[in-house]
């Protein structure tokens, strides 16, 4: 017996459903190796997983959604940045409640340098003014590492004046040491290009020196914040002078 296909049984090639089923898949995202991108764009020991150079802001945002050799570098700072923004308001409220005079220092927007001066020389306004006067000057040739380590200058100075036990309480000295050690370890990784220099191509996405450096910088910032909060608490609970001088 012969079977016949009736026209109603044939696939409707004009229907939207048919075309949806036959729609070609999206072009997969592609990554390149270091021979396919400009020299300025490469790391000597990262062989693969490079994003193409597109000069497109949209492409940069889209690259947040897939893995490449900058993913860890991006998220190791992006996530802490988002957390910092979310906690900015409650942190400001906490400082306003616990350390009302300290909140005026935010106007300087000078970060760790101010905090080291303020608590290191809590009752020594002449030394505060000495170090704050240095901040307004421009030093174009100062390297990144030297700039970071300059925050330790007031603490080193204070260490020559106050006993260790006192400075540890009033300035959180131990946390400065820990912070400095963490940053220096990160710098060693960054300069030596370890471990990717040891096994090129094996750390293209995970575990490269730049990524380790980023993570250690974030950890050092957390240590710094904890040390500053500890020092603020001690100074407010153990005042050495009735009205500490500040420049506001």
210 is in an annotated binding site: yes
Q: Which residues contact 18 (CB under 8 A, 6 or more apart)?
A: 11, 12
Nearest of 118, 155, 88 to residue 244 by alpha carbon: 118
Spatial distance between the Cα atoms of 68 and 51, rounded to a whole number of angstroms: 7
Residue 55 marked in a binding site: no
**What is the C-alpha to C-alpha distance for residues 230 and 204, in angstroms, rounded to an integer?**
39
Quickly list DSSP for 184-206.
Answer: HHHHHHHHHTTTTTTSTTSSSSS
- Measured CA to CA in angstroms, residue 174 lies from 150, 171, 177, 238 at distances of 17, 9, 5, 19
**Residues tagged in the binding site annotation for Zn(2+):** 210, 214
**Residues tagged in the binding site annotation:** 210, 214
């Amino acid at each position: 017996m012969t079977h016949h296909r009736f026209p109603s049984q044939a696939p409707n090639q004009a229907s939207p459903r048919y075309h949806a089923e036959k729609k070609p898949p999206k072009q997969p995202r592609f990554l390149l190796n270091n021979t396919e991108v400009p020299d300025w764009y490469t790391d000597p020991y990262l062989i693969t997983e490079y994003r193409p150079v597109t000069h497109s802001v949209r492409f940069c945002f889209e690259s947040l959604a897939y893995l490449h050799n900058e993913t860890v570098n991006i998220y190791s700072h992006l996530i802490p940045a988002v957390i910092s923004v979310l906690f900015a308001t409650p942190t400001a409220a906490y400082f306003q409640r616990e350390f009302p005079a300290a909140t005026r220092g935010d106007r300087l927007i000078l970060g760790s340098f101010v905090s080291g001066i303020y608590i290191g020389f809590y009752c020594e306004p002449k030394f505060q003014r000495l170090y704050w006067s240095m901040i307004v000057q421009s030093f174009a040739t100062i390297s990144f590492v030297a700039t970071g380590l300059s925050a330790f200058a007031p603490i080193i100075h204070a260490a020559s004046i106050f006993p260790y036990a006192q400075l540890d309480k009033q300035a959180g000295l131990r946390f400065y040491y820990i912070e400095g050690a963490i940053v220096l370890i990160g710098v060693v990784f960054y300069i030596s290009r370890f471990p990717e220099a040891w096994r090129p191509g094996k750390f293209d996405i995970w575990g490269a020196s730049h990524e380790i450096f980023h993570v250690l910088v974030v950890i050092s910032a957390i240590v710094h914040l904890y040390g500053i909060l500890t020092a603020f608490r001690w100074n407010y609970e153990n005042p050495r002078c009735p009205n500490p001088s500040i420049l506001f």
